[in-house]
Amino acid sequence: DTAVSQTPKYLVTQMGNDKSIKCEQNLGHDTMYWYKQDSKKFLKIMFSYNNKELIINETVPNRFSPKSPDKAHLNLHINSLELGDSAVYFCASSQVSGLVTDTQYFGPGTRLTVL
């Protein structure tokens, strides 16, 4: 009964490959996010979706493409992986508005390593 789940937990791949990370929330929330946490633990928003619509895209390379098939799922597809993409990727969700006054609930993270 995990609130926000991500798969896989670990992902090791070669440069140039394409990979996807899946996120699901069972909280009934309308807004979902992707964050990237680099090796220095710096955490930065990448995207947010509200009711399956993209509302925030923070100057992320277009090799990264989020997809929201329904409001409970927000997947992240990454094309042509680069070494600098190695990081921990967190999915999060919040209840209604997409405003930060709504508490964000984070998934456990996906550690991506690009070799």
Partner 1 sequence: AQSVTQLGSHVSVSEGALVLLRCNYSSSVPPYLFWYVQYPNQGLQLLLKYTSAATLVKGINGFEAEFKKSETSFHLTKPSAHMSDAAEYFCAVANSGYSTLTFGKGTMLLVSP
Residues making contact with partner 1 (CB under 8 A): 4, 40-45, 48, 55-56, 58, 90, 92, 98-101, 103-104, 106-109
Nearer to partner 1, 48 or 68 (CB): 48
Structure tokens that stand for 23 in this block? 């996120």
Nearer to partner 1, 55 or 115 (CB): 55
- What's the min distance (Å) between Cβ of 104 and partner 1? 7
Report whether 79 contacts 22 (CB < 8 A). no
Query: CA dihedral defined by 10, 80, 105, 94, rounded to 10 degrees?
Result: -160
Nearer to partner 1, 81 or 107 (CB): 107
* Gap between the Cα atoms of 97 and 82, Å rounded: 34
- What's the min distance (Å) between Cβ of 72 and partner 1? 17
The residue length of the chain stands at 115
Structure tokens that stand for 10 in this block? 């670990």
**Beta bridge pairs of residue 55:** none
Nearer to partner 1, 56 or 72 (CB): 56
- What's the min distance (Å) between Cβ of 88 and partner 1? 9
- What's the min distance (Å) between Cβ of 45 and partner 1? 5
Three-state DSSP class for residue 100: coil
